[in-house]
């Protein structure tokens, strides 16, 4: 059972963030859009929806290895849209270890902390349940005001 997280508006390094990015609806995490360093592996290994992919967001300098469940795999660009899931899934099934990737973007529901996401701006945010509790930045390129809240897409991700 997941515990409720407390979001203070500053990360472990005391850097402020504007909003927290959580999952859409009943999804397990915000959607993470990644590009493996070897994008050709998506086609070669036939990575597809439901596959478990293992790797580290080395492009952003994150030291934490992530286990991802693929939602969508583009064989032309090599871009994977995924959910971050726990390590248990990697121990229970077949894993495709891409080893290293770039985080291209995130998509999810935003909960404003100091200010709401604004289209076209580079803003700081915290992916919900980030194990490092480190603020990220990205360019907000989609904000949809839905009845369930603010559906946001953020790209060009960097860790502060």
pLDDT of 131 above 90: no
Using one digit for the tens of pLDDT, what is the confidence trace for 64-104?
Answer: 999 999 999 998 999 999 999 988 877 887 899 999 999 99
Report CA dihedral (90, 96, 100, 106) to the nearest 10 degrees. Answer: -70
- Domains of the chain, residue spans: 19-27+107-159, 31-105
pLDDT at residue 144 in the model: 97
Cβ–Cβ < 8 Å for 104, 79: yes
- What's the confidence (pLDDT) of residue 88? 82
Strand partners, 20: 111, 126
Q: What is residue 52's predicted lDDT score, i.e. its pLDDT?
A: 96
Distance from C-alpha of 49 to C-alpha of 131, rounded to nearest angstrom: 25
Mean pLDDT of 24-52: 96
* pLDDT above 90 (res 109): yes
N- to C-terminal Cα distance for the chain? 30
pLDDT value for 4 = 64
C-alpha triplet 29, 32, 35: angle, nearest 5°: 155
Model confidence at 130: pLDDT above 70: yes
The pLDDT assigned to 6 comes to 78
Q: Is the pLDDT of residue 1 over 50?
A: no
pLDDT tens digits, one per residue of 22-34: 999 999 999 999 9
DSSP reduced 3-state for 19 = strand
Predicted local confidence at residue 30, as pLDDT: 96
């Amino acid at each position: 059972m997941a515990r409720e997280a407390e979001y203070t508006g500053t990360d472990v390094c005391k850097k402020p963030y504007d909003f927290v990015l959580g999952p859409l609806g009943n999804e397990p995490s915000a959607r993470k859009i990644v590009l493996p360093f070897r994008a050709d592996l998506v086609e070669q290994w036939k990575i597809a929806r439901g596959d478990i992919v293992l790797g580290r967001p080395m492009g952003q300098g994150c030291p934490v290895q992530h286990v991802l469940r693929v939602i969508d795999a583009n064989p032309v660009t090599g871009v994977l849209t995924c959910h971050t899931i726990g390590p248990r899934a990697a121990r229970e099934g077949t894993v495709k270890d891409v080893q290293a990737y770039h985080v291209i973007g995130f998509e999810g529901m935003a909960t404003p902390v100091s200010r709401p996401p604004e289209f076209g701006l580079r803003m700081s945010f915290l992916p919900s349940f980030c194990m490092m509790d480190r603020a990220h930045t990205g360019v907000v390129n989609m904000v949809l005001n839905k009845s369930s809240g603010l559906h946001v897409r953020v790209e060009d991700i960097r860790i502060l």
